[in-house]
Amino acid sequence: MEITRTSTAMYLSQSKYILDLLKKTKMSYAKPLTTPAATGPKLSIYDREPLSDGTNFRSIIGALQYLLFTRPDIAFAVNQVCQYMHSPTTAHWDAVKRVLQYLKAIHDQGIVYKPSPLTLTAFTDEDYAGDPDDRRSSSGYGIFLGDNLVSWSSKK
């Protein structure tokens, strides 16, 4: 984790980690994307053919989970692909590659903490019975102390 401090703010990022991850996955020269997840049909356990070996898939997912310390913007997309670690398919691998392409576009961003009023604000959202396989809901929240995001989650 990289921490940069100025007189007005503190900036947390994992830029080097992201660049190393892109190199490890041979995605350094991939086309950058502006969103971490595709719109349209949701991922399903029945999407396309299974991967012959899911070891690399699970390894990359673990690396993406580590990035969640400074990258709340990928929390939903990472949560979605984590649900298929036991039996990943080529569609799930494409979703992971999309997250990596998004990170390539904004690898130097992170979280900024700066002085602000001590007001607590929370936002939440849920999709009721949105999973196409088991009809379970997904939810997420973000909690701000003043202007600073201090806690976030996305889960099924």
- The tens digit of pLDDT for each residue in 52-91 reads 999 999 999 999 999 999 999 999 999 999 999 999 999 9
pLDDT of 2 strictly over 90? yes
Pick from 96, 102, 104, 111: nearest CA to 36: 102
Q: For the chain, how many structural domains are there in total? A: 1
Q: Which amino acid is at 14?
A: Q
- Side-chain half-sphere exposure of 121, counting CA atoms within 13 A: 10
Domain for residue 131, yes or no?
A: no
What pTM value is reported for the model?
A: 0.93
Domain for residue 141, yes or no?
A: no
d(CA 49, CA 10) in angstroms, rounded, equals: 45
Domain for residue 23, yes or no?
A: yes
The mean pLDDT of the chain is 96
Query: Mind giving me the DSSP string for 87-117?
Result: S-BHHHHHHHHHHHHHHHHTTT-EEEE----
Domain for residue 80, yes or no?
A: yes
Domain for residue 31, yes or no?
A: yes
Q: What pLDDT does residue 45 have? A: 94
Domain for residue 121, yes or no?
A: no
Mean pLDDT of all residues in 18-40: 96
Q: How many residues does the chain have?
A: 156
Q: CA of 67: how far to CAs of 72, 77, 91, 103, in Å?
A: 9, 12, 22, 10
CA 13 remoteness from chain centre: 14
pLDDT of 41 strictly over 90? no
Domain for residue 61, yes or no?
A: yes
- The domain of 41 spans 2-115
